[in-house]
C-alpha cells in the first residue's frame, strides 16, 4: 500500500491572507520554511543528496546518499534537514511530508528484501517504514486496518477460516481475531523480519500468540496457489503497491504485482468457500494510474466469477492524498437471495444478506468483549461505497445502478 501506503508546515489559519483585510502577505519564519520546503523541494534535495526527482522505477526505492545513480520513481521518499519524511508522486506532482522527532530511528534493520525502520513522529506516533516509504503510523493506522478487516468480515455471515496475505505489521490480524466466529487464521508474509520488529514495537504485538493463528513466512501468491480449494471464508490481502507509474505514463511492476494478476485472483476464487469474501488493497482514486488499475482489477475479478466487486474508500491522512481504498468481492450469492442481480448496487454492504441489524448485533458483541474499534462502525459498511460521481462513472461506467430504496424493497 502507499503506506498504504506525508506535512509539518504551519496551519493555513495562520496565514494572514485568509483575513478579510486585503494586504500583502508578510511571511513569518514558519511560512518561509513552508515555502522553502514545498516550492524549492526538488532543487534543495538534488543539491543535498544528488537525487533527480523524477519517475522511472521502484516506488519503494530508498533515496541514496552516495554518488551512485539514483533510482527514480512515482512515489519518491524524501528526507531533509528538518527531520521529515515525505513522498512525492511524480505522476501528479503531489508532495506530502511528516515531521519526525529525530533523524535517528527507534530501530532499523536491513532484511533479505528491504530496509525496515521504526521512527517516532511528532504527531503520528511510531511510524513503520519500508525502504524509506511510510507503511503505517500509529495515530491513523486504525483507518485502513479496521476498514479492510471488518468490511470483509461483516460481509460474511459466519467467517470461520480466514487467510491474511501480507500485513506483516499484524494490525489486520489483530482485528480479525476480534470476531468470535473465527476458528483458524493463516497469516502469510514474505518478510519475517517485519513481523519480528512489529512484535517488539507496536501494541497489537500479541496477535500472533493467539492459538487460532498460524504464521507462514512465505510468498503469498505461491501459498494461495497451493492452498486447499473451498477452504477459506474470507481472504484479506494487505499488500504493498504492485507498480509505479512513470511521468511518461508507463507502468513499472514491483514485487507485489504477482498479487494483482488474474492468475492470483483465480487461485483466490478457488480457495474460497461458497459465499466467500475477498478484499484487497486497491490504491487511491486520486492518482490517475491507480484509478485505471482499479477499473482493470474489478473487471478481472468479475470475469473470474466473483458476483460483486465494489470499491470502498477510506480517509487516512498519512497516505498520499489522504485516501486509499479496497475492492470487496463476493464469490457467490446465497441461493435464497432475491435482491437485485446487478453487479453494481449503490449499497453493496448488505452482501451475503447481512442486514444492518445483524451487523449492529455482531459489532456490539465485539464492543462488549472490550475490543471495540476506533474508526470502523456499522454505518460505514454501506457508506464507504458512496463515491464522488466522477469516480463512480470511471469505475462502474454505464452499469445499471439501483438506489438504496430499490435494494431494500427487493
Of 131, 189, 238, 241, the catalytic one is 238
CA triple 54-57-61, angle to 5 deg = 90
In 3-state terms, what secondary structure has residue 85? strand
Q: Cα–Cα distance between 400 and 341 in angstroms, integer?
A: 10
Q: What are phi and psi of 277, to 5 degrees?
A: -125, 135
- Per the CB < 8 A criterion, the answer to whether 302 and 309 are in contact is yes
238 catalytically annotated: yes
- Per the CB < 8 A criterion, the answer to whether 364 and 179 are in contact is no
Q: In what order do the strands lie in the sheet with 75-80?
A: 75-80, 84-89, 94-99
Q: Cα–Cα distance between 13 and 228 in angstroms, integer?
A: 57
Nearest in space to 234 (alpha carbons), one of 316, 325, 143, 351: 351
Render 330-398 in DSSP notation, one character per residue: E----TT--S---S--S-GGGGGG--HHHHHHHHHHHHHTT---SS--TTHHHHTT---HHHHHHHHTT
List, by residue number, the catalytic residues.
Answer: 238
Amino acid at each position: 500500500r502507499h503506506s498504504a501506503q506525508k506535512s509539518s508546515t504551519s496551519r493555513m489559519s495562520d496565514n494572514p491572507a485568509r483575513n478579510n483585510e486585503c494586504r500583502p502577505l508578510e511571511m513569518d519564519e514558519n511560512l518561509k520554511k513552508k515555502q522553502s520546503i514545498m516550492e524549492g523541494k526538488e532543487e534543495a534535495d538534488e543539491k543535498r543528496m544528488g537525487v533527480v526527482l523524477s519517475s522511472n522505477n521502484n516506488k519503494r526505492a530508498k533515496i541514496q546518499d552516495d554518488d551512485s545513480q539514483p533510482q527514480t520513481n512515482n512515489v519518491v521518499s524524501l528526507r531533509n534537514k528538518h527531520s521529515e519524511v515525505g513522498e512525492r508522486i511524480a505522476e501528479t506532482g503531489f508532495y506530502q511530508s511528516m515531521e519526525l522527532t529525530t533523524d535517528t530511528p527507534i530501530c532499523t534493520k536491513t532484511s533479505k528484501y528491504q530496509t525496515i525502520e521504526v521512527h517516532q513522529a511528532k504527531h503520528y506516533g511510531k511510524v513503520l517504514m519500508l525502504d524509506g516509504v511510510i507503511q503505517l503510523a500509529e495515530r491513523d493506522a486504525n483507518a485502513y486496518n479496521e476498514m479492510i478487516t471488518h468490511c470483509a468480515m461483516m460481509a460474511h455471515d459466519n467467517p470461520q477460516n480466514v487467510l491474511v496475505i501480507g500485513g506483516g505489521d499484524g494490525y489486520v490480524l489483530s482485528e480479525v481475531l476480534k470476531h468470535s466466529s473465527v476458528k483458524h487464521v493463516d497469516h502469510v508474509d514474505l518478510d519475517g523480519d517485519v513481523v519480528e520488529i512489529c512484535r517488539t514495537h507496536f501494541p497489537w504485538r500479541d496477535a500472533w500468540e493467539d492459538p487460532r493463528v498460524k504464521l507462514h513466512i512465505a510468498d503469498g501468491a505461491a501459498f494461495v496457489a497451493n492452498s486447499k480449494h473451498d477452504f477459506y471464508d474470507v481472504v484479506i490481502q494487505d499488500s504493498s503497491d504492485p507498480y509505479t507509474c512513470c511521468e511518461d505514463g508507463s507502468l513499472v511492476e514491483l514485487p507485489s504485482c504477482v498479487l494483482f494478476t488474474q492468475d492470483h485472483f483465480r487461485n483466490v476464487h478457488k480457495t474460497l468457500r461458497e459465499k466467500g469474501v475477498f478484499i484487497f488493497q486497491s490504491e487511491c482514486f486520486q492518482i490517475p494510474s491507480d484509478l485505471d488499475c482499479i477499473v482493470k482489477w474489478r473487471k478481472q475479478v468479475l470475469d473470474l466469477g466473483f458476483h460483486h466487486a465494489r470499491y470502498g474508500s477510506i480517509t487516512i491522512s498519512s497516505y498520499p492524498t489522504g485516501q486509499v481504498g479496497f475492492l470487496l468481492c463476493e464469490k457467490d450469492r446465497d441461493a435464497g437471495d432475491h435482491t437485485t442481480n446487478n453487479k453494481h448496487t449503490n449499497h453493496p454492504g448488505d452482501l451475503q444478506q447481512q442486514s444492518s441489524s445483524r451487523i449492529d448485533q455482531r459489532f456490539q458483541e465485539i464492543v462488549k468483549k472490550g475490543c471495540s474499534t476506533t474508526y470502523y462502525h456499522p454505518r460505514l459498511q454501506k457508506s464507504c461505497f458512496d463515491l464522488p460521481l466522477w469516480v463512480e462513472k470511471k469505475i462502474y461506467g454505464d452499469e445499471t445502478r439501483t438506489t438504496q430504496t430499490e435494494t431494500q424493497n427487493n
